[in-house]
Structure 1
Amino acid sequence: MRILFLNPVGILGGAERAMLDLMVCLQKQDARLSLHLRAGTDGPLLDEARAAGVDARVLPLPEQLSTLGDSALRGHGAREAWRLARNLVPTPALLARYGHALRQEVMGLGPDLLHSNGIKTHLLSPFTAGLPLARVWHIHDFLGERPLARLALGAQSRLASAVIANSRTVGEDARGVLGKTPVHVVHNGVDVERFSTVPHEVADLDALAGLPPAPEGTSRVGLVATYARWKGHDVFLEAASEVTRREPGLPVRFYLVGAPLYRTPGSQFTEHELRQRIAHHGLSGRVGLVPFQADPSRVYRALTLFVHASTRPEPFGLTIAEALACGRPSLVSRASGAAEVLTDGVDARLLTPGDAQALASAMRQLLSDAPRRARLGEAARKTAVEHFSRERYAREVLAVYHAVLSTRLSPQGSVA
């Protein structure tokens, strides 16, 4: 089976890390698979895919297309709508040129199946229409919240042979947008050997953040996320301020780990904005900004508590699975897709999205209760191995591939 993966960018966000793990495990599970990746921009995704033995190349996506997106329209008004409308003007001509290049690439490679890993690449499906291949759209977002993407993908849904959704809530949302297109729910997976409790592989968060070394016995609480505005950096800082106000002598530091990885304007905090918020809360010297880390496993193991604070429903939340696999006691927004298999108080603390007071209270409780942290961490690791291993992930995705291709090749099946 020859599989072509398409991704809009070459950076390593959650969807990209999940795809890398998928490709690595697919090759282990079936050596006959031939895997290929084309990304719209260069970056570490391509480097790591090549290191894993995948034929990975850039198919350059024009700047105007790579930065185009309607995610910033959530909850915003006329200014964002006007900006998007202005940027849409050159889109048809750019899409036509890029679509032609994509079709030529696909025809030259001749894949049996095209695995599209982002909304922008789903929207390119018409340019491969008529070619003898199956198309699987991997959905990592709530399409119903994306006004333009919802309409466009709904109109093109017949071109998708099947959809993989990374959580049950994403699957339900996708069914509402895509109609009769088959939707398969497959929770993301992580490398539970790399993300483990190995104690000697620990990051020096203070050095990475440019802070002086913390006194011995200092607890470390961290949020690991891109700088997307809905990831809850503001809620995390408000909770940190509340903890510091109520427990001024508590030896604890807080860390924001990540970067503004994506190229869609208006959807992310800048580093300057976050530093301003830190100063506003009087947390200078108590909060460190740690840049994006290619190996986040070392970051998780350095944390006393891991925090996931997304303020709106999150499709999955790969950092949750990674932190759990590292045995971290975790405070998790209950609206995340990964929380679908978690039990509050057993393998994580599940909290209402956007509730800074509840987050602060949970932080204070766990920071003062080491035995409880230990119990949560042990259960977290067990849950991650059982539900979030990348081997399970690849096995379930491969089953979708086989089902799609067997339907295409059967006498009753129709060629996509």
Structure 2
Amino acid sequence: MKVALVSPYSWTTPGGVNTHIASLAAQLRARGHEVRILAPADGPVDAGVVSLGGTVGIPFNGAVARLAFGPRVPGRVRVALRRARADVIHVHEPFTPSTSLLASLSARVPLVATFHASVRSRVYRIAGLPLRPLWKKIAVGIAVSQAARDTVEGVFGPGVRIIPNGVDVAHYADIGPPPPTGREVLYFGRLETRKGPQILVEALPALFAAVPDAHVVIAGDGPLREKLESSVPSALRKQVIFTGHFDEADRLALLSASTVVALPAIGGESFGITLAEAMAAGRAVVASSIPGYAAVARGGLDAFLVPPGDPSALAGGIAGLLRDPAKTAALGAGARERARTFDWPVVASQIEEAYHEAISARSQSGR
């Protein structure tokens, strides 16, 4: 099968949607499918990725989305689709005003669409009416979580199935349990408001008062970094490390060295891929109880969930685990088992079935 995977976001800017697409492409290629990734880009791209031109940054959903605009972009999309000669086109965030929307409009073969975002947007609702013909064009609609499904169906009505984001469980299999005396707390991800690193920094005084020998590593980069670093009380700075940007090898090392992972997002997360990665590594996680995280982890079984935006609750949850190695170990074991639900081979099989269904529906309709 020839598959075209389309992203609306700059391929050269790290992000959850593009990570999902890259991992899906690898899974499909391993199954013998021919896959092309179509995406805008602001620099060189790897083989198998077709650049659709540069992007501009647009603030959206608590982050900055880098999207492709301009009079040349529609033509680039049409040419790329024609050269791909795909049997099915799989667009991600099909209503985002960028290359995914253009690919959806230009598609002449079965169209599968994955909705990743969980947003409450008046603009999204207003755009519902003009987007309805495009909605009807989608052969199979997918949402990565119930929160993402609610966002779409709240505007367009029923018709979306849930297929979660995937995580490569085998990739984290060699990470052993943390030492019983460990006191290492890890945050990893973008340093932006919706991810909640500022909540962790606010929680530091209470955390260190409860566990004086704790250490906190804040891994990642983003617009909040300078402000976060300056917000750490001077008396605590020797126990807090900001790593900046990290690569995949760093990610494994950071998880291996951690005792507890803190993920205090305040909203805008439809599926906790970082949460799933930490769980696959067998780490006890203290995460906020937003819908996108609650769809991944079951509070008390796979993670310790606390109210979003509550530094006191976050500090208490982390401290409680650091002082209870048995509970930390049990939560980590449960997390690793739960992560198997999101293992990429499982997820890829479900998406592959959606492709066959879309192609079959087109054949039966005679279009």
TM-score, normalisation: structure 1? 0.78
Residues 228-282 of structure 1 show CA distances to partners (whole Å, capped at 9, x for unaligned) of: 21111111111122112344xx21111111122xxxxxxx42x212212224x75
Cα pair distance change 1:6/1:359, threshold 3 Å: same
Unmatched segments (≥5 aa) in structure 1:
75-87, 203-216, 261-267
The structure 2 residue matched to 1:116, chosen from 91, 114, 125, is 91
2:40 maps to 1:40 = yes
Residues 68-89 of structure 1 show CA distances to partners (whole Å, capped at 9, x for unaligned) of: 3443599xxxxxxxxxxxxx9x
The aligned counterpart of 1:106 is 81
The aligned counterpart of 1:212 is none
Please give the secondary structure, in 2, of the residue aligned with 1:311: coil
Cα pair distance change 1:2/1:152, threshold 3 Å: farther
Contact 2:117–2:148 (CA<8 Å) still a contact in 1? Answer: yes
Root-mean-square deviation (CA), in Å? Answer: 2.7
Give the deviation of 1:151 after TM superposition. 3.7
Residues 124-151 of structure 1 show CA distances to partners (whole Å, capped at 9, x for unaligned) of: 24651xx421222221112x42443454
2:216 maps to 1:223 = no
Please give the secondary structure, in 2, of the residue aligned with 1:289: strand
Cα pair distance change 1:282/1:39, threshold 3 Å: farther
Contact 2:81–2:103 (CA<8 Å) still a contact in 1? Answer: no
Contact 2:6–2:91 (CA<8 Å) still a contact in 1? Answer: yes
Letter in 2 for 1:14: G
Letter in 1 for 2:92: N
In 2, the alpha carbon distance for the partners of 1:196 and 1:4 equals 31
In 1, the alpha carbon distance for the partners of 2:43 and 2:329 equals 38
The structure 2 residue matched to 1:158, chosen from 136, 140, 143, is 136
In 2, the alpha carbon distance for the partners of 1:17 and 1:239 equals 30
Letter in 1 for 2:81: V
Residues 130-176 of structure 1 show CA distances to partners (whole Å, capped at 9, x for unaligned) of: x421222221112x424434544652223433321110121122111
2:17 maps to 1:15 = yes
Letter in 2 for 1:368: R
Deviates more, 1:344-353 or 1:300-309: 344-353
User: Which residues in structure 2 correspond to 1:9-408 (within 5 Å)?
Assistant: 9-10=10-11, 11-28=13-30, 30-31=31-32, 33-42=33-42, 46-47=45-46, 50=47, 55-61=48-54, 63-64=55-56, 67-71=57-61, 94-118=69-93, 119=96, 120-125=98-103, 127-128=105-106, 131-142=107-118, 144-152=119-127, 155-156=130-131, 157-179=135-157, 182-199=159-176, 219-247=183-211, 250-260=212-222, 268-269=223-224, 271-279=225-233, 282-295=235-248, 296-312=251-267, 314-385=269-340, 387-408=341-362
In 1, the alpha carbon distance for the partners of 2:139 and 2:305 equals 36
Letter in 2 for 1:294: D
Letter in 2 for 1:255: V
Please give the secondary structure, in 2, of the residue aligned with 1:68: strand
In 1, the alpha carbon distance for the partners of 2:162 and 2:192 equals 25
In 1, the alpha carbon distance for the partners of 2:28 and 2:289 equals 31
In 2, the alpha carbon distance for the partners of 1:300 and 1:123 equals 37
Cα pair distance change 1:16/1:336, threshold 3 Å: farther
Cα pair distance change 1:134/1:153, threshold 3 Å: farther
Letter in 2 for 1:302: A
In 2, the alpha carbon distance for the partners of 1:177 and 1:36 equals 31
Contact 2:41–2:53 (CA<8 Å) still a contact in 1? Answer: yes
The aligned counterpart of 2:2 is 2
In 2, the alpha carbon distance for the partners of 1:153 and 1:298 equals 45
Contact 1:219–1:251 (CA<8 Å) still a contact in 2? Answer: yes
The aligned counterpart of 1:81 is none
TM-score, normalisation: structure 2? 0.87
Please give the secondary structure, in 1, of the residue aligned with 2:171: coil
In 2, the alpha carbon distance for the partners of 1:68 and 1:114 equals 25
Residues 348-381 of structure 1 show CA distances to partners (whole Å, capped at 9, x for unaligned) of: 1111111111111111111111111111111111
Please give the secondary structure, in 1, of the residue aligned with 2:112: strand
In 1, the alpha carbon distance for the partners of 2:129 and 2:264 equals 31
Pick the structure with more strand per residue.
2
In 1, the alpha carbon distance for the partners of 2:303 and 2:332 equals 8
Please give the secondary structure, in 1, of the residue aligned with 2:261: strand
In 1, the alpha carbon distance for the partners of 2:348 and 2:102 equals 25
In 1, the alpha carbon distance for the partners of 2:182 and 2:313 equals 22
Identity across matched positions, percent: 24
Q: How many pairs were matched up?
A: 354
Contact 2:276–2:296 (CA<8 Å) still a contact in 1? Answer: no
